A and B are shown apart, each in its own frame.
Chain A
Amino acid sequence: EVQLLESGGDLVQPGGSLRLSCAVSGFTFRNYAMSWVRQAPGKGLEWVSSISASGAGTYYRDSVKGRFTISRDNSKDTLYLQMNSLRPEDTAVYYCAKWTPYSSGHYLGYWGQGTLVTVSS
């Protein structure tokens, strides 16, 4: 059974840093691209970042470029999101998600339960 378990969410002051982790099980982690998606309170879903299976390719939304870093440790079956220079607008539940390949692409086929990040003074 595929499982994704996020951790690391917390209350942090503006300008602060936080590292989120997503521990996975039930599949061969090193073979799959992964993503982070967030959802601000009462708002819709927002793609944040993705990383290729090897970790060589990383992608970010413009509003987090230069502040957030996605990474993975394939020996530990864990995905990370290092968040620096946090802003109140980064307040959200952060979900990690696994890409599921099919014949002509791949989609977010499995999601964790999310971890809450609150940026406030």
Chain B
Amino acid sequence: DIQMTQSPSSLSASVGDRVTITCRASQGISNHLAWFQQKPGKAPQPLIYGASSLQSGVPSKFSGSGSGTDFTLTISTLQPGDSATYYCQQYTSYPHTFGQGTKVEIK
């Protein structure tokens, strides 16, 4: 199975900050990676697919990059509504594993 490791597990940042979350795969997954945002009590919402393509309707302050084993999700200007847990998921091979999540809080 491919293991997905996110870092950090949590972070606290100020409004307006640039935030970067990393996701590392235990083996190469090409660009078969998605990022999801989940708020408490809600279903996950897709942000990024194909490692760097923005889901329709998602603000351009979210961006993704990477290929192979190392990936990043960047929030360019953090806003209070971005407080959530963020997950990466690989879909190159079964089981389609998720990272453990990164909880983003606003200072």
Residues in A lying within 8 Å of B, measured CB to CB: 35, 37, 44-47, 50, 59, 61-62, 95, 100, 102-109, 111-114
Contact = CB atoms under 8 A, between A and B. Distances in A.
A44 B36 CA distance: 12
A44 B87 contact: yes
Interface string B42-79: 11111001100101000000000000000000000000
B3 interface: no
B25 interface: no
A95 B55 contact: no
Main SS class of interface, A: strand
Contact of A108 (B46, B53, B94): B46
Nearest to B45: A111
B31 A104 contact: yes
A29 to B, nearest CB: 19
A106 B89 CA distance: 12
Given A35-B96, A111-B45, A45 B91 contact: no
B49 A109 contact: yes
A108 B34 contact: yes
Main SS class of interface, B: loop
Contacts of A114: 43
Interface range, B side: 20 to 34
A15 B39 CA distance: 32
A113 B32 CA distance: 24
B92 to A, nearest CB: 8
A95 B42 CA distance: 11
Contact of B50 (A35, A59, A95, A104): A104
B57 to A, nearest CB: 11
A38 to B, nearest CB: 11
Counting from the closest, the 5 A-B pairs by CB-CB distance are A107-B49, A111-B43, A47-B96, A107-B34, A45-B98
Given A37-B44, A100-B46, 13 more contacts: A44-B100, A45-B44, A45-B89, A50-B96, A62-B95, A95-B43, A100-B49, A102-B50, A103-B50, A104-B50, A105-B32, A108-B36, A109-B49
